[in-house]
Structures are given as structure tokens and as C-alpha cells.
């Protein structure tokens, strides 16, 4: 597959491109952005090109084009923060046949910063001093980057999420985040300092928020976490590690592992927790007000399973090996 490479103009408005683009890859990403480099590496970052635009008596404009391994990785970077004004930079999209779970906009603008997910590129175009003139230039560069990009797509994994459950709980589209690393998970929903779910580059995950339809203050939103692993063995080992770390107190209370099978529901400090393992998929429910809600949402999740996903001789059931 040919790598998509946006061609930025040399001049836009009063601004002109200055010098050659700075080239950044995994070997020098921390020199460019210090600790923030971990975030991009977690989304399978390939390289970064940095363009600087200058104009007389005006603030510089910086354009960062991140080349990622897949469109899902670029989407994931955008999904970490849905704040900002949605802007439509796609001139050729008139209809959207696929019902999206996440917000449909792939370009968000706020306070001089435009963030874009376009194919396998993630783009940040910014100016420190926002004026009507600089905003128009930033958006103009964004339209060049977007080009003839198709209507917005999203990772297939998001379609496991039900839009509503039990006529009580609604999926919040701006509460969806797609990722691969526990470092990203901890910024969205903290579980542990350690990688207790054994997340790695071969896995992919989505976390989502469900809000009670009545929007009562005493009812907290429910959090869903769904992970697809490379195979069943990795998924089962991840659940074993999670159980040992997150639910170890149930062993101390006499919980018998033989009854856990492939799913379980537990009352913990912040509400009810539920989990289910099916082949190479692992789903979790957190912060449920009661067991009924936990079971309802977990049962509503669509497990896109294939026969090839189940290892030979495996029932798909899991028994935590507490020792």
C-alpha cells in the first residue's frame, strides 16, 4: 500500500514555508517532544514531518504530520480528546452509509490548534496567537491535508459497542477512545501502574462511557473496556493477570476460581464490575450501580467471533489460576 503523503503549499496567505521539514522518527522523537513521545509510539508511530510557516509581524504556524501504521492508529490519537469545534474539511463527502459510534468529525479546532485524522496520518496545525487571519490559514492547510479523503471511518472494534442498553443506558460518542497501550488506558481510565492487561502492539482496545438516560446525579456513568488480543492464549493470560491484581481480595474472601468460568461479576469499591472472555476477546464493565446493569451491558456487547479465533480443543472458557 502506498503511503499517503500530503503536499503542503509553499505559500498560504501571508505565510511562507521556512526551510525544509524537520524529520523525526523513533530514534529522535524524545528530543523533539520529551516524554510525550511515548504516546505516539504507543499508536505505532512511523515518522513525523514538521513544517514551519513564517510571516512578517505575525506568529509562526507549525504543521506536524504524523505518519502512523494504519488509519486506526491515527483515529486513536484523535479519539483521546474530542474537545474542540468540529470542522468539516472534506469537500466530497455527501453521505455516510455506516452508522458511526464515535463523533463523525475527523477535524477538531480550538484556540489556534487544529487536529486531524486523515487516513493513516494524524496532523496538528497550530499557532500560538489566534487571529481571524491565522485561523483561516490553519484551516486552509487542514483542507490541503484532508484532500479528497473519504467519509469518516472508524476502527471495526468500535462496532462491538451497543448504542443503548436496556432502554436506560446511552453510549456517549465523545467518551470513546481507541488504543493499544496501557499507558494510554491509564490516561483515560486508570487501573494500575502496571500493565495488568498485558496490552501490546498486537492488541487493540476501546473504552467507552455509558450515561444513564435519566441523568441522575447519584448514578455514575458506566465504563466499558473491550480488548482484542492476537489469540486466545494471550487473552486468557491477560484475564489471569487482571484477576490476580484487581480482584485478589475475592480469593481472600473464599472466592472459588472454579465458578468463575469465562465470566464473573463482583461488587467492588466503586460499584459492580463484570468481565467476559470469548476466544481472543476480553470485555470489562466498571462502575455499575447494580449487578443487573453490569449483566445487561455485558450481554449487549457484540462479540465478533470467528471459528478460527478459537484454539483447537479450547472451550473459550476461563478459570483464573489463583496461586
When pLDDT is averaged across residues 228-246 and rounded to a whole number, the result is 90
The 10s digit of each residue's pLDDT in 119-173 is: 999 999 999 999 999 999 999 999 999 886 777 889 999 999 999 998 899 999 9
Predicted local distance difference test score (pLDDT) of residue 315? 39
* Cα-based distances in Å from 72 to 120, 122, 228, 273: 7, 10, 14, 28
Inform me whether the pLDDT recorded for 316 exceeds 50: no
Comparison of pLDDT for 3 and 42, the residue scoring more: 42
The 10s digit of each residue's pLDDT in 270-301 is: 899 999 998 899 999 999 999 999 999 999 99
DSSP string, 110-134: ETTEEEEEETTEEEEEEESS--HHH
Strands 281-288 and 271-278: antiparallel
Q: How confident is the model at residue 251 (pLDDT cuts 50, 70, 90)?
A: low
When pLDDT is averaged across residues 218-243 and rounded to a whole number, the result is 91
Cβ density class 85-96: b for 16+ within 10 Å, e for less: eebebbeeeeee
CA dist 310 and 231 (Å) reads 8
Q: How confident is the model at residue 307 (pLDDT cuts 50, 70, 90)?
A: very low
Q: How confident is the model at residue 96 (pLDDT cuts 50, 70, 90)?
A: low
Predicted local distance difference test score (pLDDT) of residue 92? 58
CA angle 90, 184, 216 (to 5 degrees): 85
Of 48, 37, 39, 125, the closest CA to residue 79 belongs to 39
Predicted local distance difference test score (pLDDT) of residue 64? 97
Amino acid at each position: 500500500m502506498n503511503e499517503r503523503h500530503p503536499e503542503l503549499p509553499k505559500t498560504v496567505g501571508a505565510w511562507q514555508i521556512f526551510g525544509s521539514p524537520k524529520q523525526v522518527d523513533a530514534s529522535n522523537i524524545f528530543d523533539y517532544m520529551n516524554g510525550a513521545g511515548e504516546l505516539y509510539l504507543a499508536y505505532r508511530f512511523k515518522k513525523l514531518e514538521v513544517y514551519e510557516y513564517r510571516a512578517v509581524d505575525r506568529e509562526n504556524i507549525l504543521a506536524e504530520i504524523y505518519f502512523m501504521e494504519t488509519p486506526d492508529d491515527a483515529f486513536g490519537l484523535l479519539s483521546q480528546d474530542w474537545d474542540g469545534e468540529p470542522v468539516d474539511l472534506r469537500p466530497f463527502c455527501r453521505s455516510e452509509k455506516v452508522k458511526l459510534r464515535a463523533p463523525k468529525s475527523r477535524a477538531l479546532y480550538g484556540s489556534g490548534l487544529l487536529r486531524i485524522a486523515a487516513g493513516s496520518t494524524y496532523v496538528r496545525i497550530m499557532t500560538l496567537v489566534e487571529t481571524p487571519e491565522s485561523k483561516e490559514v490553519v484551516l486552509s492547510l487542514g483542507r490541503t491535508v484532508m484532500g479528497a479523503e473519504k467519509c469518516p471511518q472508524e476502527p471495526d472494534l468500535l462496532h462491538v459497542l451497543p448504542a443503548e442498553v436496556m432502554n436506560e443506558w446511552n453510549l456517549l460518542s465523545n467518551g470513546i477512545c481507541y488504543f493499544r497501550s496501557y499507558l494510554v488506558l491509564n490516561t483515560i481510565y486508570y487501573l494500575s501502574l502496571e500493565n495488568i492487561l498485558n496490552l501490546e502492539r498486537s492488541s487493540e482496545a476501546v473504552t467507552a462511557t455509558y450515561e444513564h438516560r435519566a441523568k441522575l446525579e447519584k448514578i455514575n456513568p458506566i465504563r466499558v473496556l473491550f480488548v482484542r488480543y492476537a489469540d486466545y492464549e494471550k487473552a486468557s493470560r491477560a484475564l489471569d493477570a487482571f484477576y490476580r491484581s484487581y480482584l485478589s481480595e475475592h480469593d481472600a474472601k473464599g472466592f472459588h476460581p472454579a465458578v468463575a468460568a469465562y465470566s464473573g461479576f463482583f461488587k467492588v469499591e466503586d460499584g459492580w464490575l463484570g468481565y467476559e472472555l470469548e476466544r481472543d476477546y476480553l470485555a470489562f464493565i466498571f462502575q455499575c450501580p447494580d449487578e443487573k446493569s453490569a449483566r445487561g451491558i455485558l450481554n449487549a456487547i457484540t462479540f465478533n467471533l470467528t471459528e478460527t479465533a478459537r484454539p483447537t480443543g479450547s472451550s473459550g472458557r476461563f478459570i483464573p489460576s489463583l496461586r
